[in-house]
């Protein structure tokens, strides 16, 4: 039987990046079936690992020194090819960038993300893909706007400090110095979050507690974001408060819609095309996807479900590798995943499998080869 095999996993969070997972699985398949044509296409859905996936697809890494979520400098990467840039919010303004992991719910800023966007413009990019998962901030994207030349002023005409809580003192927005290159650039936000900016389902209420916000902080942030939205509407004439996705990444989605005139696209769907994974699936005999944990979230549009849907549309069977699964086998089938192969079946100690996943992934790949690829590649 002819045809190639596509290995298109997401990262195993806290354990191994998507490229490392793809490499281990591919190595195991090649060892089991010598001469097998295996194509590695690590994927991401707009959160952590989006830049890494772009680099694996042939983009070039560019390092930028920028502002971390609590103001400290961080070295962040973006991925560039031709005049297209992939910018990952988590690289500059993510939870993983918090010093010591200490949350800063009311003061964390998205400024570094704006600095990455500015760097993309400096590199001559005219199409910017913004992955906005994993944010540490709830500032409505105000820091990003400041980094691009917008001025947020209080009643005395002084510039506001960083973070969502500071927006309570916002009097007006001065966009006279806003980077003019933004208007000539096409922005796409890759995100699967459909929350509005404000209210019970908004950025502060839903995601604030995950970033360390107390109930009082949530109320304070929601009120401050309300003020921010009014100032943004007064300055631009755009009202995006209730638009699905405005609440993504603590409101960075809102700022992208209003100030960058971005289009919001399903993260995994858009990235499958951008990273040319969908094209690689065409003509394959098997697709192997996966992530660290298969659970209810997997079925709600996470990367493995997106890969499996693309494979099903192409008539190609899909199996998944994962550290563990809380889903019954019959729950995977509607998502297009024929079977899951789990590290927990080989190694009952989750700490050990997280620490050394590669040998276990290679062993699982051998089982996949035996079950799905027979002896004749």
The 10 Å CB-count burial string (b at 16+, else e) for 22-54 is bbbbbbbbbebbeebebbbbbbbbbbbbbbbbb
Q: Which domain, by its residues, includes 65?
A: 50-267
Q: To 5 degrees, how large is the angle CA 269–CA 185–CA 234?
A: 100
Looking at the fold, whether 13 and 55 belong to one and the same domain comes out as no
What is the layout of strands, in order, in the sheet containing 38-40? 38-40, 5-7, 286-294, 318-325, 339-342
- C-alpha separations of 221 from 106, 116, 198, 218 in Å: 7, 25, 9, 5
Looking at the fold, whether 73 and 13 belong to one and the same domain comes out as no
CATH code for position 243: 3.90.1510.10
Q: Which two tokens stand for residue 84?
A: 């297209």
Looking at the fold, whether 185 and 66 belong to one and the same domain comes out as yes
Question: Within a domain: residue 343?
Answer: yes
Determine the pLDDT at residue 2.
58
Question: Within a domain: residue 118?
Answer: yes
Question: Within a domain: residue 244?
Answer: yes
Looking at the fold, whether 101 and 244 belong to one and the same domain comes out as yes
Determine the pLDDT at residue 1.
46
Q: Which of 267, 296, 319 is the endpoint of a domain?
A: 267
Strand, coil or helix: what is 53?
Answer: helix
Q: Which of 267, 299, 328 is the endpoint of a domain?
A: 267
Among all chains, which residue has been given the structure tokens 């003019």? Answer: 180
Determine the pLDDT at residue 308.
96
Looking at the fold, whether 121 and 146 belong to one and the same domain comes out as yes
Rounded to whole angstroms, how far apart are CA atoms 52 and 43? 9
Question: Within a domain: residue 272?
Answer: no
Looking at the fold, whether 88 and 33 belong to one and the same domain comes out as no
Rounded to whole angstroms, how far apart are CA atoms 43 and 274? 10
Determine the pLDDT at residue 147.
98
Looking at the fold, whether 109 and 81 belong to one and the same domain comes out as yes
Rounded to whole angstroms, how far apart are CA atoms 198 and 140? 10
Looking at the fold, whether 28 and 74 belong to one and the same domain comes out as no
Strand, coil or helix: what is 271?
Answer: helix
Q: What is the pTM of this model?
A: 0.92
Q: Which two tokens stand for residue 123?
A: 């590199």
Looking at the fold, whether 78 and 26 belong to one and the same domain comes out as no
Question: Within a domain: residue 273?
Answer: no
pLDDT tens, residue order, the chain (377 aa):
459 999 999 999 889 999 999 999 999 999 999 999 999 999 998 888 999 999 999 999 999 999 999 999 999 999 999 999 999 999 999 999 999 999 999 999 999 999 999 999 999 999 999 999 899 999 999 999 999 999 999 999 999 999 999 999 999 999 999 999 999 999 999 998 899 999 999 999 999 999 999 999 999 999 999 999 999 999 999 999 999 999 999 999 999 999 999 999 988 989 999 999 999 999 999 999 999 999 988 887 789 999 999 999 999 999 999 999 999 989 999 999 999 999 999 999 999 999 999 999 999 999 999 999 985 44
Q: Which two tokens stand for residue 218?
A: 């949530």
Question: Within a domain: residue 152?
Answer: yes
Looking at the fold, whether 255 and 116 belong to one and the same domain comes out as yes
Looking at the fold, whether 249 and 212 belong to one and the same domain comes out as yes
φ, ψ for residue 292 (rounded to 5)? -60, -45
Dihedral in degrees, nearest 10, Cα atoms 224, 228, 231, 232: -170
Question: Within a domain: residue 275?
Answer: no
How many structural domains are present in the chain? Answer: 2
Q: Which of 234, 267, 300 is the endpoint of a domain?
A: 267
CATH code for position 333: 3.40.50.10350
Question: Within a domain: residue 274?
Answer: no
Looking at the fold, whether 21 and 162 belong to one and the same domain comes out as no
């Amino acid at each position: 039987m002819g045809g190639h095999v596509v290995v298109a996993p997401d990262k195993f969070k806290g354990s191994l990046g998507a490229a490392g997972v793809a490499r281990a699985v591919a190595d195991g398949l090649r060892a089991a079936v010598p001469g097998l044509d295996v194509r590695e296409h690590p994927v991401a859905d707009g959160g952590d690992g989006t830049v890494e996936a772009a680099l694996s697809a042939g983009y070039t890494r560019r390092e930028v020194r920028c502002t971390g979520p609590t103001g400290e400098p961080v070295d962040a990467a973006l991925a560039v090819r031709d005049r297209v840039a992939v910018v990952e919010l988590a690289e500059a303004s993510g939870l993983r960038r918090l010093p010591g992991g200490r949350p800063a719910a009311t003061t964390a800023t998205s400024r570094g993300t704006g600095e990455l966007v500015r760097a993309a413009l400096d590199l001559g990019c005219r199409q910017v893909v913004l992955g906005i998962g994993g944010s540490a901030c709830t500032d409505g994207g105000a820091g990003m706007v400041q980094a691009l030349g917008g001025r947020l002023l209080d009643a005395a005409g002084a510039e506001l400090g960083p973070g969502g809580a500071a927006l309570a003192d916002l009097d007006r927005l001065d966009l006279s110095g806003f980077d003019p290159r933004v208007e000539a650039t096409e922005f796409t936000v890759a995100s699967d979050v459909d929350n509005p900016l404000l209210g019970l389902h908004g950025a502060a209420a839903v995601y604030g507690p995950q970033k360390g916000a107390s109930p009082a902080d949530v109320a304070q942030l929601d009120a401050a974001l309300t003020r921010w939205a009014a100032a943004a509407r007064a300055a631009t004439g755009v009202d995006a408060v209730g638009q699905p996705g405005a609440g993504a990444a603590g409101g960075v989605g809102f700022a992208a819609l209003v100030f960058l005139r971005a289009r919001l696209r399903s993260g995994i769907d858009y990235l499958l095309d951008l990273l040319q994974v969908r094209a690689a699936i065409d003509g394959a005999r098997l697709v192997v996807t996966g992530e660290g944990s298969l659970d209810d979230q997997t079925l709600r549009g996470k990367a493995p479900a997106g890969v499996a849907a693309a494979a099903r549309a192409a008539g190609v069977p899909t199996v998944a590798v994962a550290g563990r699964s809380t889903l019954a086998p019959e729950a995977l089938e509607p998502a297009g995943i024929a079977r899951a192969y789990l590290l927990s079946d080989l190694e009952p100690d989750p700490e050990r499998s997280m620490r050394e996943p590669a040998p276990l992934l290679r062993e699982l790949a051998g089982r996949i080869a035996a079950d799905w690829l027979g002896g004749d590649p």
